[in-house]
Structure 1
Amino acid sequence: MNERGVRSMNGIRLDWKRDGYFFERDALKSAPGPWQQWAYILDQAVQGNFQDTTGLLEVYFSTENRLLRDACCRLLGDAGSTEAIQKWVAHLRTRFANFDPVGGDTALDLSNSLAVHGQLLFVPEVLRLLEWNMGVPDSRIFPLHLSLMLEERWGPIAEYPSTDEAFPAYKAQVMGRVLELSQGLGSEQAHVFMGRVSHVPDIARLLLENLGSSHFEEASQWLLRRRFEASTGINCSSFFKDGRFQPLTAAAVLEEFLSSDEAARFVPGRKYFFGRWVP
């Protein structure tokens, strides 16, 4: 690929400290076929058709392009239907059963997708990915994915089990928290986020509570922006300027949303993409 083509591919990177899902689309006009497939799936999801998100698995494994693979997994987490998620989990379980290791960026991609999707019943798959990747570079990210689902702030689940011997106790702790949440919610099917049932207005309130400059707040701001923008379809590009968070701008958008009739129509425990329920 020539230099111009590389710049075009770089322009499609989903970046929640910049344009997020409102990225410049011109780069897609001359993009290769797999990018066109991804763009079609995204456009269908924006319109409320989530059936084609099952095709993200094929797009992911059809390419070695890291930006496209990242885009597939981010879209899967944000807009993937239950059927699409189950398809990816079936792939993982087959790999596990055949002792076919899932490692490196692929393991982190799938872990991130399952964590963002947020259903408690898929936590064991994230734990298995961690177990298979103990000690490898970036393996400390897996506990952060689990913490994003299960804890209101970084807590013991975010702590990396530093040895193989420590993993069983860590797994028991994680599954204990899953049991606690599932009993409280009455189901493992509900979507959770930051230690509570996922609810779009609550995501807006969480961001309003984390507008500051502490390490946790700065790490959370782009994650919360991603969840809010993906769920509502509200353009949040103005939340960041040159990669720096703009708290007053973000607060104005969030408060306007919370005071609107739109906020009241989101049902707790459901997954939404661009304001539409993802079945």
Structure 2
Amino acid sequence: MSQNEFQFQIDYYGKGYLGSPPLPEGLQLPRAPFDDPWRVCALALDRAKRGDFELMPVVLQLYGKTHDIALDHRCLELLSDAGTSACFSKIAEIVKNEPDLHRVFDFCGALTARGELSYVPILLDKHLSNKGSEEAERLTDYIEGLLGKQLFSVEADDYEDAVILCHQKLLGEFGNERTLVLQGERYGVSHLARFILQDIQSPYFSSLRWKLQFEAATGIDCSAWYKAKKLQLLAATATIETFLEDPDSSKYEDGVRYFFGHKIP
């Protein structure tokens, strides 16, 4: 059998994670993760869809160790959407202790996807210590995605102070650096849905990014959002409005991350 028999893609403009093929009944883990890393990754996704996140630390172990770029992309996407708190504690330590931002930039993106308030100083430090690099400039988008739009017009010389001030303000408001945030507010799946509904018509709105995040959290099929890679505004709006009007949406607690409707530990 091919080593990459269980290689899968994420259908970004279509069914997202729902587009991954079903696995054979009773498929078992290999003896060691590196014996068949694609099978491990596919099983991690399949189990996470059903609320079992025990393989997420193994996915973290695989990232960057196989010289398979496609596998690294799948591992990183899965960690960003379904990684456990323990996984992110390790990722945060890796980012803090690696001076070369280029080597950990992808992990910075994963931290942003989770959105813990404690990550803001880490991202700011990487931005400041790698000034002039393309990655450092792109980090401003990550920081602003957590703290909110109030930073968009800040002059470069004032940026550090502005980030620190916003971070301290949110820390004072929420009282806990472990709080998950999105655009300067406490994260929640319903808040994410309202944010999409509010900003989806903006020319600067990253609709594909938020589609992926929403469908990963809920497991809702958002394939109607795009046709020939063009956003279908009415279809996307209808999906979000239907979700918000559904009484079942109340099961999603603020400050908690979900994958396919299951709480991530």
Q: Normalising by structure 1, what TM-score?
A: 0.80
> Given the alignment of the two structures, is residue 18 of structure 1 paired with residue 6 of structure 2, yes or no?
no
Query: What's 1:139 paired with?
Result: 136
CA deviation after TM superposition for structure 1 residue 201, in Å: 1.3
Give 3-state SS (helix, strand or coil) of 2:136's partner: coil
Within 5 Å, give how 1:1-279 maps onto structure 2: 12=9, 14=10, 16-25=12-21, 33-93=36-96, 95-96=97-98, 101-104=99-102, 106-152=103-149, 155-156=152-153, 161=156, 166=157, 169-212=158-201, 214-217=202-205, 220-279=206-265
Query: CA 1:235 to 1:209, structure 2 compared with 1: closer, same or farther past 3 Å?
Result: same
Matched residue type, 1:269: G
- State the one-letter code of the partner of 2:46: D
Larger helix share, 1 or 2: 1
- Cα gap change, 1:42/1:209 in structure 2, threshold over 3 Å: closer, same or farther? same
Return the alpha-carbon distance in structure 2 between the equivalents of residues 40 and 176 of structure 1.
Answer: 43
Tell me if the contact between 1:107 and 1:129 (Cα under 8 Å) persists in the aligned partners. no
Q: Give the structure 1 partner of residue 30 of structure 2.
A: none
1: CA distance between counterparts of 2:173 and 2:88? 24
Question: Equivalents in 2 of 1:278, 1:26: separation in Å?
Answer: 22
Q: CA deviation at 1:145?
A: 0.9
Amino acid at match of 2:240: L
Give CA deviations for 1:76-112 in whole Å, capped at 9, x if unaligned. 121111111012222334x34xxxx3332x4221111
Deviation at 1:230, TM superposition (A): 1.2
Tell me the distance in 2 between the aligned counterparts of 1:35 and 1:102.
28
Change (3 A) 1:87 1:266: same
CA contact (8 A) 1:153 1:194 kept: no
Show structure 1 runs of 4+ deviating over 4 A.
26-29
Cα distance per residue 1:121-154 (max 9 Å; x no partner): 1222222332343222343211101111110476
Letter in 1 for 2:171: S
Residue type of the alignment partner of 2:204: F
Aligned partner of residue 215 in structure 1, secondary structure: coil
Is residue 80–residue 278 contact of structure 1 (8 Å, CA) maintained in 2? yes
SS of the aligned residue for 1:268 comes to coil
Cα distance between partner residues in 1 of 2:142 and 2:23: 30
**C-alpha displacement of 1:247:** 1.0
Residues 130 and 27 of structure 1: is their aligned pair in 2 closer, same or farther, counting only changes over 3 Å?
farther
What is the aligned length?
253
- Measured after TM superposition, the shift of residue 26 of structure 1 is 7.5
Inter-partner Cα distance in structure 2 for 1:127 and 1:251: 34
**Alignment gaps of 5+ in structure 1:** none
RMSD (Å) for aligned C-alpha atoms: 2.7
Q: Is the 8 A contact 1:78 1:116 kept in 2?
A: yes
